[in-house]
Structure 1
Amino acid sequence: MPFAVYVLGLAVFAISTSEFMLSGLVPAIATDLAVSIPDAGMLTSAFAIGMVFGGPLLAVLTMRWERRRALAAFLVTFAVVHVVGAVSSDYAVLLVTRVLGALACAGFWAVAAVSAIGMVGENAKARAMSVVVGGTTLACVAGVPGGAFLGQHWGWRSAFWAVAVLSALSVVAVLATLPPSRPEPPVRIEWKPLFAKPLLVAYALNALIQGATFCTFTYLAPLVTEVAGLGEGWVPVMLVLFGVGSFIGITVGGRIADARPGLVLLVGMIALTLGWTVLALTGGSGIATVALVFIQGLLAFGIAPVLTSRVFYLAKAAPALAGGFSTAAFNVGNTVGPWLGGVVIDAGLGFRSPVWVSALMMVLALGVLAVSRKKSADTVRRPVDPGVSRSTQG
C-alpha cells in the first residue's frame, strides 16, 4: 500500500475529528456564546447538511484541478475556518464556519477517495478505502475523546485550534507524498454513468446502512445509562469500544473485501440486521449491550470498504463525481438516521426505540439489495430476441 494512502487516512482523521467532536462540546459552546443547547446543536446539523451538498458540488468545481492542489486547498480552507471559529465570539460566524468547513471536508473526501483508488491496483481498491475511511474510526477512538478532553481542560476553542494544527500539518504531508495527477475529464463525460441503476443501488445501500449505524450511535449514551442501567462512567468507555470495533472491522474488511465483495456485503448486512435486533431485545442487559456495541461497530465498518470501493468499481468512467455522490449518500444516512431516532424518542417510545429503527433500516437495505440482485439475474436470464440475434450475425 503506498505511503500516500496512509497520509490521506491521517488527514481524514483530522477532519473527521472536527465532524464528530461537537457532541462533547455543545454545552460549553452554548454557555460561552450565550445560546441555547438546541442552537449550539445546530452547529452539528449545519456541518452534516454542508457535507451532503458539498461532495458533488466541490467534485464538479475542482474537476479540472490537479489532485494534490485540490486536496491542499480543501485542507487549508478547513484549517482557516477552524482558526476563525476558535477566535470568534459570535454564534452566526461560528455557524458559517461550520458550513464552510463541511464543504471543504466533503470536497476533500471526494478527491481523497479517487486519489487513493488511483494509487493502487485493480484488486486493492477496498483495502485502500479501508485505510482512508480508517481515519474516521481513529477519530472515534482518539480524536473525539481527545477533543472532549481539551474542551474540559482548556475550553472548547482549544479543540478547534487542535484541528487547525492537524489540518495544517496534513497539508504539508499531502504535498510531500502524493504523486502528481492529471485533471479529471470534463463534466459532460462524467454525468451519464452516475445514473446507472447499480450505482443508485450502491448510494442507497450506503445511506441506509450508515443511517442505521448512526441512528443508534447518536443515542448510545441514554441507551447505556437508561436502558442497560450502567453508570455514566460507562458512556465514554462504550464510545471507545465502538470505535475500537470499528477500527478492527475496517482493517479486516479492507483486506478481504476485494476478493469476495458480494459475499462480504451480504453476510455483513445480514449480521448487522440480526445484531441490531438482538440489541433491541436485550438492551436491558449491561453485558449484552457491551458486547453488541463492539460487535456492531466491527460489522458496520467492516463492510464500509465494500460500500465505498463498490462505487469506484461501478463508475470507472466517473470517479470524481462518484466519490462526491458517495460522500453525499454517507452523510444523508448520517443526518436521517439520528433524525429518525429522535422522532421515535419524542414519540414516547423510549431510548430502546432507535435500535429498532436501525434494525428496520437494515431490513430495508436488504430488500434493496435483494431486488437489485433479482433484476440483475432476470436480465442475465432474459432470452435474446431471434431477430436481434440474426441481425447482429449479419
Structure 2
Amino acid sequence: MPRLLILLSLCNLVIGTGAFVIGGLIAPIATDLRVPPAAAGQAMTAYALSTAVLAPLALVLTGQWPRRRALVAGLAVFALGNLLCALADSLVLLLAGRVLMGVGAMFTPVAAGLAVALVEPARRGRALSLVFLGISLSYVVGVPLGAWLGFRHGWAVPVGAVAAIAAASAALLALLVPRHIDAPGARFQGLGGLLARREVLWALLLTLLYFTAIFVVFSYIGPVLQALQPMSTERLSVTLALFGVAGVVGTLVGGWANDHFGARRSLTVQLAVLAAMMALVPLTRGSYPAMLAVFLAWGVAGFGMMAPQQSRLAALDAAQAPMLLSLNTSMLYFGTALGAAIGGPASLLVGFDRLAWVGVPFAVAGWLALRLGGSTARRTQPA
C-alpha cells in the first residue's frame, strides 16, 4: 500500500477524535454550559449536519484544487473549529465551532478519493480500510484519552488539544504530500444522472439508516454506559478504548471481507449482527461482562461496514467516485445528526439504558435497503 495512505489514516485519527470525543463528555459540557444533557448532545447534531450539507459544497468548490491543497485546507478549518469549541462559554459558540469543524471534515472524502485512485480495484477494500483505520483508532486512543482528560481537567482541554494537533497535522501534510497527485476532484457535473440511478439511491439510503441506528446510541454513549453499569471515569475510558479496539478489528476485517467475499455478503452479515447486538444491549444492564461483549460485537460489525459500502459505491462509477464518496459521507452525517436528534428526546421517554432499542428498527430497515438494492452489490464482485 502507498505510504501516503498511512499519513491520511493518522490525520483521520485526529478527525475522528475531534468529532466523537464530545459523546463521552456530554455530562461535564452540560454542567459547564448550564444546559440539559439532551441539549449538549446536539453538538453532535450540529457537526453532523454541517458535514452532511456544507462539507460536500466545500469539496466541490475545491474540486479543481491540487489534492494537497484541499487536504491541508480541510484539516486547517477543522483545527479552527475545534479552537472555537475549546474557547466556547455558551452552547451557541460550541455549536458554531462544531459547524466549522463539519466544513473541515471534507478532508475525509478527499482522502477516500485518493485511496480509490492510488490502488487497483482488487486492493480497493484494503486501501479504504487503511484510510478509515484512523477513524477507528480514534475510539481506541483519542476518544477514551479525551474523555479521561475531560473529566480530570475540564472538557475544553481535550478539545483544545485536538485543535493543536490538527493544525500541526495540516502543516505536516503541506510538507509531505506530493504537489501533484493523479486523482479526480468532486464536481457537480453528472450529479443528476447519479441520483437518478436506483442502485445509487438504495446504497445511499443504507448508509443513512445504519448510521442513524448507531448514533441514536453513540451520541450519548457516556450516559448510556453509566445507565447500564455505573462506573468510574477510569473504567469508562477503558470501556470506550475497548470499543475502539473492536472498531479497529472491524475496519480491517471489513476491508478483507470486501475483497474476498464481495460487498453484499459482507454487509448482509454485518447488518444482521448490528441489529442483533442493539437488541441485546438493554438486556445487559447490571452485568459489565455481558455489556462489554455486546458492545464489542457491535463495534466489529458497525465499523466493518465502512470499507464494503465505500467500495460498493466507488465500483458504480470510477470517474464519479469522489462525488459518490462525498454523497455517502453526507448520508453518514445526516444519519449521525438524525440519530442524535432522535436519541435525545427518546432518552427522556425510555431512559438511556433502553435507548438502543430505538435504533433497532433503523438497522433492520438498512438490511431491507441492502436487499432491495441488490443490483448494486452484484456489480461489486470479490477480487
- Residue 148 of structure 1: aligned partner: 147
Task: From the superposition, tell whether residues 224 and 162 of structure 1 become closer, same or farther in structure 2 (CA, over 3 Å).
Answer: closer
CA distance in 2, matches of 1:85, 1:359: 32
Match of 2:167 in 1: 168
In 2 relative to 1, CA 42–373 (structure 1 residues): closer, same or farther, beyond 3 Å? closer
Question: Contact conserved, 1:50 with 1:102, CA < 8 A, in 2?
Answer: yes
* Equivalent position of 1:98 in the other structure: 98
**Pair 1:73 & 2:73 matched:** yes
Deviation at 1:247, TM superposition (A): 0.8
Q: Determine if contact 1:199/1:311 at 8 Å carries over to the other structure.
A: yes
Q: Which runs of 5+ in 1 are unaligned?
A: 378-394
Q: 2:381 aligns to what?
A: none
Alignment of 1:304-383 (within 5 A): 304-347=306-349, 349-373=350-374
Matched, 1:274 2:273: no
Give 1:242 deviation, angstroms: 1.4
Compared CA separation, residues 68 and 361, structure 1 to 2 (3 A): same
- Do the aligned residues in 1 keep the contact of 2:76 with 2:167 (CA within 8 Å)? yes
Closer, same or farther: CA 93–270 of 1 in aligned 2, 3 Å: closer
Give the letter aligned to residue 318 of structure 1. Q
Of 303-312 and 334-343, the range deviating more from structure 2: 334-343
**Could you tell me which residue of structure 2 aligns to residue 193 of structure 1?**
194
1:35 is displaced (CA, Å) by 5.7
Q: Which amino acid aligns with 1:256?
A: A
The CA distance in 1 between the partners of 2:292 and 2:326, in whole Å, is 35
Secondary structure at the aligned position of 2:65 is classed as coil
Q: 1:249 to 1:364 in 2, by over 3 A?
A: same
2-structure distance, mates of 1:196, 1:104: 29
CA-to-partner distance for each residue in 1:315-359, whole Å, 9 max, x for gaps? Answer: 323122212111111112212223333343333x34443222332
Could you list the runs of 5+ residues in structure 2 that have no partner in the other structure? 379-383
The alignment status of 1:208 with 2:209, answered yes or no, reads: yes
State the TM-score, normalized to the length of structure 1.
0.85
Is contact 2:30-2:40 (8 Å) kept?
A: yes
Query: 1:38 Cα shift?
Result: 5.2
Deviations 1:18-58 (A, max 9, x none): 11122344454455556665554443322122112123212
- Tell me the distance in 2 between the aligned counterparts of 1:310 and 1:376: 7
> Hey, what's the Cα distance between the residues in 1 that align with 2:150 and 2:222?
19
Q: CA RMSD, aligned part only?
A: 2.8
Determine if contact 2:78/2:163 at 8 Å carries over to the other structure: yes
Inter-partner Cα distance in structure 2 for 1:376 and 1:149: 41
AA aligned to 1:359 is V
Contact 2:45 2:340 in 1 (8 A): no
Superposed CA deviations along residues 40-98 of structure 1, whole A, max 9, x for unmatched, are 44433221221121232122211111111111111122223333444455654443222
Classify 1:359/1:92 alpha carbon distance in 2 versus 1 (closer, same or farther; 3 Å): closer
Which secondary structure state, in structure 2, belongs to the residue aligned with residue 184 of structure 1?
A: coil
Q: Is the Cα contact below 8 Å between 2:258 and 2:308 reproduced in 1?
A: yes
Greater shift in the superposed pair: 15-24 or 69-78: 15-24
Q: Which amino acid is 1:82 matched to?
A: N
1:135 and 2:137 equivalent?
no
Q: 1:26 to 1:361 in 2, by over 3 A?
A: closer
The secondary structure found in structure 2 opposite 1:259 is helix
- d(CA) in 1 for partners of 2:54, 2:149: 29
8 A Cα contact 1:123 1:259, kept in partner: no
Q: How do 1:213-292 residues align onto structure 2 when only pairs under 5 Å count?
A: 213-227=214-228, 229-232=229-232, 234-261=235-262, 262-283=264-285, 285-292=287-294
Aligned AA (2:254): G
Match of 2:62 in 1: 62
Secondary structure of 2:259's counterpart equals coil
Quick check: 1:109 aligned with 2:111? no
Distance in 1 separating the partners of 2:373 and 2:265:
15
For residues 321 and 178 of structure 1, the distance between their equivalents in structure 2, rounded to whole angstroms, comes to: 22
Report how many residues are paired: 374
Q: Secondary structure at the match of 1:63?
A: coil
Please, what TM-score do these two structures have when normalized by structure 2? 0.87
Given that 1:341 and 1:353 are in contact with CA atoms closer than 8 Å, whether structure 2 keeps it comes out as: no
How far apart are residue 376 of structure 1 and its match? 9.1
- Kindly indicate whether the alpha-carbon contact (under 8 Å) linking 1:84 and 1:97 is maintained by their aligned counterparts in 2: yes
Shift of residue 298, structure 1, vs aligned partner: 0.9
- Paired residue secondary structure (2:205): helix
Counterpart contact for 2:85–2:159, Cα < 8 Å: yes
Q: CA deviation at 1:282?
A: 4.8
Q: Displacement of 1:361 after TM fit?
A: 1.7
Distance 2:4 2:377 in 1: 37
% same residue: 31
